[in-house]
Chains A and B, each alone.
Chain A
């Protein structure tokens, strides 16, 4: 049992955890953009970003040059292009920040902030590991020996908190679109509002089977119960399996990713809701989109894909807890699964074409909502009959 903390210690530990999570996210987002360039490149039989390398001299550079000279694609070229994200960041920060003359200045500035705050606020309720990850070293002043928890805030209505905060994110897009005072962003914003509000329904409905089966709204408890399958019927695999795919589909729509990226359909709307944005204001929208992808992957991992355990869909029960490493929860399993789902995001983007607007609404209202209701019914029957 750790010693009780006073207010100052609580605040300092909270800040440390927030900074730690933000650092991880800020490392993941640029890596994700790099991975996106590379994976889409390979999916479309080209190399992706290769031009920028860390140096033009040295052993690897000469090896690369030698292979190019022989007419071969160098093996090491896979990680060439990685430094591009530094250039991206520098460009976004230093670029001129233009506010259109007829824009509503206050709302125009507020919109990207809302987007980013909603996207990053969600990370506070996500548990990355059940319980305490490690204890701070005893020798440190003030915070020595205090626990570093797997979640910033262990909210007992964690799932609702996440859904609520994520639903505030739509304001960023809608207000940004309106404040630009230009027709393409407005069209993009209206599309986006309709799309996100529509897809919130099946998204929430697809999470309800998980809530019914787990019997709690606490993020950590839900994840542990759903992955270890304690107290659940073996049949619970069925609703979790269906729910996973419904949730992931709706997650794609909520994050405005291909094939649901109608708010920024280039062919019709220039760049959609962020047409008029430049500089770091655009950067904020960009950050929010990738942060939202990470959030969706975290939620899908935690509730359906086995969370901190090895096997997904509550199948972990076939591995007894006595097995070393594989039978125990691990932060590594969680991150590996999140990475896998992020890869799926990119993979789908490289594979599928965009939906038409009426098709998008059809998929949401005519197929996903009935399907998720049926899934909810199955989950309820399994919970109370078996």
Chain B
């Protein structure tokens, strides 16, 4: 039973991973912005499925909650309001094709480096695990929400808080930009 479930999980990971890639590809090539957003939503849900198939319930569900439930809704909200077909003849969204091509090539090279390191390079010296004194009285394999909480609020509290400040800065920046444009 355990063995069967394990191989099932591996296969599901492959299925969800391929679906996520297909969704991402469709998002890039799709002509209509709303279809792109839908494909993005699909990709996000598939990534959540990948996490779930690796027994990371908290991460998977948080992925659905944050990306699918929050961020993509806001994308959709904006995209719905901007009817892109109106601007087709003005061609305002295709002015950056050359810069985009350069960026894509740079991205591909960078990611190829990362993948080469991940697949062929040495394994990381130490795995990122919960300190044993933090894991006390906790069944880490089955309570990963609690395990993440203990790690996050004990060992990684400072990076966590700094990240939230960075998000706040982005938010304030967006408000400032929008305000100056109006005046």
Contacts and interface: CB of A to CB of B under 8 A. Distances in A.
Interface stretch (B62-70, B100-108, B117-125): B62-70
Interface in A151-166: 155-157, 160-161, 163-165
A25 to B, nearest CB: 22
Interface stretch (B34-42, B87-95, B152-160, B166-174): B34-42
A189 interface: yes
A157 B61 contact: yes
A107 interface: yes
- Across chains A and B, which 8 residue pairs bring their CB atoms closest together, nearest first? A167-B69, A164-B64, A164-B65, A160-B61, A157-B57, A7-B4, A178-B80, A164-B61
Contacts, number: 82
B84 interface: no
B127 to A, nearest CB: 22
A156 B143 CA distance: 7
Contacts of A161: 57, 61
Nearest to B146: A216
Chain B CB count within 10 A is highest, among A104, A110, A157, A189, for A157
A200 B35 contact: no
B111 interface: no
Tell which of B57, B70, B142 has the most Cβ of chain A within 10 Å. Answer: B57
B15 interface: no
Contacts of A197: 70, 73-74
B24 interface: no
Interface stretch (A52-60, A63-71, A169-177, A375-383): A169-177
A189 B80 contact: yes
A344 interface: no
B145 A217 contact: yes
Contacts of B69: 163-164, 167-168, 170, 200
13 contacts: A7-B1, A110-B38, A156-B142, A156-B145, A160-B65, A163-B65, A163-B69, A168-B68, A171-B41, A171-B73, A174-B77, A189-B80, A190-B77
Nearest to A125: B61
A272 to B, nearest CB: 15
A350 interface: no
Most buried by B among A164, A190, A193, A200: A164
Nearest to A4: B1
B76 interface: yes
Tell which of A155, A167, A194, A200 has the most Cβ of chain B within 10 Å.
A167
Interface of B: 1, 4-5, 8, 32, 34-35, 38, 41, 45, 57-58, 61-62, 64-65, 68-70, 73-74, 76-77, 80-81, 142-145
Nearest to B48: A164
**Of B4, B80, B142, most A-chain CB atoms within 10 Å:** B80
Nearest to B69: A167
A165 B35 CA distance: 21
Interface residues of A, number: 32
Contacts of A189: 80
A157 B64 CA distance: 13
A163 B32 CA distance: 29
Given A157-B57, A193-B73, A178 B64 contact: no
Nearest to B72: A171
A104 B38 CA distance: 13
Given A7-B5, A190-B81, 14 more contacts: A7-B4, A106-B35, A156-B144, A157-B61, A157-B145, A161-B57, A164-B61, A164-B62, A164-B68, A170-B69, A170-B73, A171-B41, A178-B34, A190-B80
A139 interface: no
Contacts of B70: 167, 197, 200
B83 to A, nearest CB: 10
A6 interface: yes
Nearest to B76: A174
B68 A175 contact: no
Nearest to B139: A156
A22 interface: no
Contacts of B73: 167, 170-171, 174, 193, 197
Contacts of B45: 168
Contacts of B74: 197
